[in-house]
Amino acid sequence: MALKTKITEMLGIQHPIVQGGMMWVGTAEMASAVSNAGGLGILTALTQPTPDDLRREIDRCRAMTDKPFGVNLTLLPSVSPPPYAEYRRAIIDSGVTIVETAGSRPQEHVEEFKSHGLTVLHKCTSVRHAVSAQRMGVDIISIDGFECAGHPGEDDVPGLVLIPAAADQVTVPMLASGGIGDGRGLAAALALGAEGVNMGTRFCATVEAPIHDDVKAMLVSNTERDTNLIFRGFKNTGRVAKTTVSDRVVEIGTRPGAVFEDVRPMVSGAKGRQALTTGDLDAGLIWAGQIQGLIHDIPTCAVLLSRMVADAEAIIRGRMAGFLA
Please report, for the domain that includes residue 315, its CATH number: 3.20.20.70
Pairing of strands 227-230, 238-241: antiparallel
Clarify whether residues 162 and 275 are in a common domain: no
Clarify whether residues 169 and 219 are in a common domain: no
Residue 295 lies in a domain: no
Cα within 13 Å of Cα(246), Cβ side = 21
pTM: 0.96
Clarify whether residues 32 and 108 are in a common domain: yes
Residue 252 lies in a domain: yes
Clarify whether residues 180 and 37 are in a common domain: yes
Clarify whether residues 148 and 265 are in a common domain: no
Clarify whether residues 191 and 310 are in a common domain: yes
Q: What is the pLDDT of residue 1?
A: 63
Clarify whether residues 273 and 166 are in a common domain: no
Clarify whether residues 182 and 233 are in a common domain: no
Residue 296 lies in a domain: no
Clarify whether residues 140 and 169 are in a common domain: yes
Residue 243 lies in a domain: yes
Q: How far apart are CA 131 and CA 124, in angstroms?
A: 9
Clarify whether residues 75 and 107 are in a common domain: yes
Clarify whether residues 174 and 67 are in a common domain: yes
What total of structural domains would you count in the chain?
2
Pairing of strands 140-144, 174-177: parallel
Q: What is the pLDDT of residue 2?
A: 81
Residue 57 lies in a domain: yes
Contact 218, 241 (CB under 8 A): yes
Residue 238 phi, psi (nearest 5): -130, 145
Residue 99 lies in a domain: yes
3-state helix, strand, coil in the chain (%, to 5): 45, 15, 40
Return the SS3 of 119. Answer: strand
Residue 43 lies in a domain: yes
Which stretches of the chain score pLDDT less than 50?
A: none
Domain that holds residue 230: 213-290
Alpha helices in the chain (DSSP H): 6-11, 28-36, 51-64, 84-93, 107-115, 127-136, 159-167, 183-192, 201-204, 213-221, 244-253, 269-278, 301-314
Residue 77 lies in a domain: yes
Clarify whether residues 26 and 170 are in a common domain: yes
